[in-house]
Amino acid sequence: MINFFQPYAEYGGEWLPVLLDAMLKTTLLSISAFALAVVFGLLLWFCQASSAPSLRHFASLYVTVVRGVPLLAVLFLLYFGLPGIGVTFDAFTAAMLGLALCFAAQVAEVFRAGMMAIPKGQREAALAVGFTPGQCFAFIILPQVVRVVLSPMIVTFVSLLKDSSLASLITVDELVLTGRAMATEYFLPLQIYIAVGLCYFLVAWPFSLLSRRLAVR
Amino acid sequence: MNSLDPFLIILQGLLRGAGITAVVTFSALALGLALGFALSLFRQFSPSKLLHGLIDVYVEFFRNIPALSHLFILYFGLASLGFRLSSMGAAILGLGLIGAAVTCDIFRSGFKSLSPGQTEAALATGFTPLQTIFTILTPQAMRIALPSLGNFAVQLLKDTSVVSAIAAPEIMFYARSMVTSSFQTTLIYATAAGLYLVMSLPLMQAVRMLEIRYGRVK
């Protein structure tokens, strides 16, 4: 046991700034990918709710494909595959785009479920008292949907944060890739990968607690 | 030679990994379901606060840390202690342990959604507590849990792609090694993606049928 903890005492000072830096990168990647996923997810949700059959078919095909294809395959296609047909992204952009494309389906599903929780009468009543459909959506429906979707959205963010670790496999220097580099440098894979795991835990756990607290209400 | 040939060669190469993908998925699923069910029983029905705390810690740790990180700890980390797991062993163990945390939550929400009257009535009519749990509560909780368990299985199938990072020879592993020798990168990864899609479609269809049957879809 002494042997296990000793490297932390010895190298902790060197590891900490490097890990914090990588944590920042992971967080940055996750937040920007999540923001993009919300935008894509909302677009997808509008397609699903649209009255045009072609848009609805597109949305349902999109959701099926995204649910059936692993994120890793999407990331490899975007980063290694697309240059073959002349489209090149840097690793960070490819990771952000891949995560956003995959999580858009989940975001759309969260919004759909949230929308279903709002009784139809709300809209009918708002229209009856003279709100325009746009006003009705913005002032009556949306504020309520946001309250319902907040907790599942945070759960989605935590999944995205964890899946951002796959970006290490397309050379984004986030937590896992930084951990790998450190593991080869110090030959202490157990201690380093546990430290990396704890870094994720420190970011993800507060969000998990928050989502549970919000869900109870 | 026709234009389909490169595609068929790639597909053939990737199919070598499909068996391992299936083995890892089913083994991890079995481990996750068995362990997760046991954990949910202890968490829900044991009176020990200590045990509740331990299970909560287990679940939080496995649910808030990425699979890749767990796999590296099991595969590279334990090896440094002289505890060498094969890449398949580490893959199944890692995904299974994570799966147990996920299914523990799924089973628990199944148990929690049952009305307490069920337990009271069973005990009042003379069932022992164990009989109550296994013959009255578990079948009902299972029904509620089934659609979520199905979704978990679909997710697990996709997550097995991650174990290529610890060199388990599944679909993604072959895809990556073929890329280094043939340079048909786009076609290879697109075919791999398609292969996963084809494998998950029947599972997704099964989930949809479960959802309709057990009334989650209105």
Interchain CB contacts (distance < 8 Å): A and B: 132
**The two three-digit tokens of residue B202, written as one number:** 């029947």
Given B60, B65, B193, which is nearest A77 (Cβ)?
B193
**Averaged pLDDT for residues B65-82:** 93
Weakest-pLDDT range from A164-168, A195-199, B165-169, B208-212: B208-212
For B80-133, what is each residue's pLDDT tens digit?
A: 888 899 999 999 999 999 999 999 999 999 999 999 999 999 999 999 999 999
A68 and B158: CB-CB below 8 Å?
yes
Contact status, residue A82 vs residue A89, Cβ threshold 8 Å: yes
Q: What is the pLDDT of residue A217?
A: 58
- Between B213 and A20, the more confident residue is A20
Given A72, A84, A169, which is nearest B186 (Cβ)?
A84
Residue B2 has pLDDT above 80, yes or no: no
Residue B218 has pLDDT above 50, yes or no: no
Q: What is the pLDDT of residue A120?
A: 87
Distance between A115 CA and the closest CA of chain B, angstroms: 14
For A38-47, what is each residue's pLDDT tens digit?
A: 999 999 999 9
Residue B171 has pLDDT above 90, yes or no: yes
**Averaged pLDDT for residues A14-34:** 96
B77 and A190: CB-CB below 8 Å?
yes
Give residue B170's Cα distance to chain centre.
16
Residue B21 has pLDDT above 90, yes or no: yes
- Looking at the complex, does the CB of residue A115 fall below 8 Å from at least one CB of chain B? no
**The two three-digit tokens of residue B212, written as one number:** 């309709």
Residue B215 has pLDDT above 70, yes or no: no
- Between B154 and B217, the more confident residue is B154
For A89-118, what is each residue's pLDDT tens digit?
A: 999 999 999 999 999 999 999 998 888 888
The rounded distance, in Å, linking the Cα atoms of A140 and A138 is 6
Residue A19 has pLDDT above 60, yes or no: yes
The rounded distance, in Å, linking the Cα atoms of B86 and B82 is 12
The ipTM estimated for the assembled molecules is: 0.90
For residue B167, report the phi and psi dihedrals to the nearest 5 degrees. 65, 25
**The two three-digit tokens of residue A95, written as one number:** 């990771």
Q: What is the pLDDT of residue A49?
A: 87
- Among residues B163, B158, B109, the alpha carbon closest in space to that of A159 is found at B158
Q: How far apart are the first and last CA of chain B?
A: 52
Domains within chain B, CATH numbers bracketed:
5-213 (1.10.3720.10)
The residue type at A88: T
* Segment (H or E) for B90: helix B87-112
Count other C-beta atoms under 10 Å from residue A210's C-beta.
16
Residue B216 has pLDDT above 60, yes or no: no
Nearest residue on chain A to B175, judged by CA atoms? A73
How many residues would you count in chain A?
217
Q: What is the pLDDT of residue B184?
A: 86
**Averaged pLDDT for residues A62-71:** 94
* Segment (H or E) for B194: helix B185-213
Contact status, residue B173 vs residue B21, Cβ threshold 8 Å: no
A76 and B64: CB-CB below 8 Å?
no
Best probe of the B interface among A2, A4, A8, A69, by most B CBs < 10 A, is A69
Percent of chain B at pLDDT above 90? 82
Residue A204 has pLDDT above 80, yes or no: yes
**Averaged pLDDT for residues A18-28:** 96
**Averaged pLDDT for residues A20-44:** 96
Question: What is chain A written as a DSSP string?
Answer: -HHHHHHHHHHHHHHHHHHHHHHHHHHHHHHHHHHHHHHHHHHHHHHHH-S-HHHHHHHHHHHHHHHHS-HHHHHHIIIIIGGGGT----HHHHHHHHHHHHHHHHHHHHHHHHHHTS-HHHHHHHHHTT--HHHIIIIIIHHHHHHHHHHHHHHHHHHHHHHGGGGGGGT--SHHHHHHHHHHHHS-HHHHHHHHHHHHHHHHHHHHHHHHHHHH-
b/e per residue A83-110 (b: at least 16 CB within 10 A): ebeeeebebbebbbbbbbbbbbbbbbbb
b/e per residue B90-126 (b: at least 16 CB within 10 A): bbbbbbbbbbbbbbbbbbbebbeeeeeeebeebeeee
Q: What is the pLDDT of residue A115?
A: 87
For residue A89, report the phi and psi dihedrals to the nearest 5 degrees. -115, 155
The rounded distance, in Å, linking the Cα atoms of B89 and B94 is 8
The rounded distance, in Å, linking the Cα atoms of A33 and A39 is 10
- Looking at the complex, does the CB of residue A176 fall below 8 Å from at least one CB of chain B? yes
* CB contacts, 8 Å: B172 with chain A: 70, 72-73, 76
For A114-163, what is each residue's pLDDT tens digit?
A: 888 888 898 899 999 999 988 998 898 888 888 899 999 999 999 999 99
Domains within chain A, CATH numbers bracketed:
13-216 (1.10.3720.10)
Distance between B113 CA and the closest CA of chain A, angstroms: 14
